[in-house]
Amino acid sequence: MLRAGCQVLTQTALPAGKTGGNSFALEFVRWRRKPRWLPVAKSKVFRVPERKKQTEEERTELMRLHNQYKTQLRSVRQYLREEVVRHEETSTADHIVLTPEQEEAEFQKCLDLNAAWNARIAKEREARLAKEREEKVAYVQERLEAKQLREEERREQANQRVLREIELSKTYITRENLDAAIEAALANPVDHNFAIDLDGNLYRGRNTSQLTEASPNPNPEPNQQALSN
């Protein structure tokens, strides 16, 4: 009889501390004899194995053990069969015969119980749907209020922008005051060019040749001097 298979995978549980769970190790076992799926060797094809003869004592002992095993097996089967019959006889679930009136009453009882369950579930469903409707109405109302607030803010910003443009329109140059604006520009030339030296002195005008302003600080910041003037 073969004891192991070639490259048989045996499921061996490893300790949980090493692998952290139910793991399996692969154990490869070599054949100690010839595998059963290989054909018979050519040297043993026509070999007839010798049948060992049993002694009378051995045959008698084997027959006694066989009869004892069969007797015990028949006893177990008979015991299980009797248990099943006893359970069927003592159980009243399958042996109760109801009259038509009793069947009608049982059916009506089931209908009433089913109606009670349906009513309870319908009540719970109505409560859930009412709550969902309230939450949806509150959500929509909140969105509408937020939208109205945004519209008011946008309208206020537009009004302020219009008022600012109206104020700025008073200084616009139109066809009526075009000549006056030209005369004012020619009479008051403005030169935005200036220069600042390392001492902080500011020189205005592109053609200015002399110092116009001097800073009291020895090393003032150029940006602050330019902004102050």
Reported as a single tens digit per residue, the pLDDT across 116-134 is 999 999 999 999 999 999 9
Q: Is residue 51 part of a domain?
A: no
Q: Is residue 62 part of a domain?
A: no
What is the pLDDT at residue 229? 42
Contact 225, 202 (CB under 8 A): yes
Q: Phi and psi (nearest 5°) for 121?
A: -65, -40
Q: Is residue 50 part of a domain?
A: no
CA distance 59 to 53: 10
Query: What's the number of domains the chain is made of?
Result: 3
Contact 9, 26 (CB under 8 A): yes
Model confidence band, residue 16 (pLDDT cutoffs 50, 70, 90)? very low
106 and 141 in a single domain? The answer is yes
And the tokens for 223? Answer: 């940006």
CA distance 202 to 200: 6
Contact 14, 24 (CB under 8 A): yes
> How big is the chain by its Cα radius of gyration, in Å?
55
Q: List the domain range (segments joined by +) for residue 28.
A: 1-37
Q: Is residue 219 part of a domain?
A: yes
Counting Cα atoms < 13 Å in the Cβ hemisphere of 165 gives 6
Model confidence band, residue 79 (pLDDT cutoffs 50, 70, 90)? very high
Q: Is residue 65 part of a domain?
A: no
Q: Is residue 79 part of a domain?
A: no
SS3 for 94? coil
Kindly give the pairing relationship between strand 202-204 and strand 194-196: antiparallel
Q: Is residue 91 part of a domain?
A: no
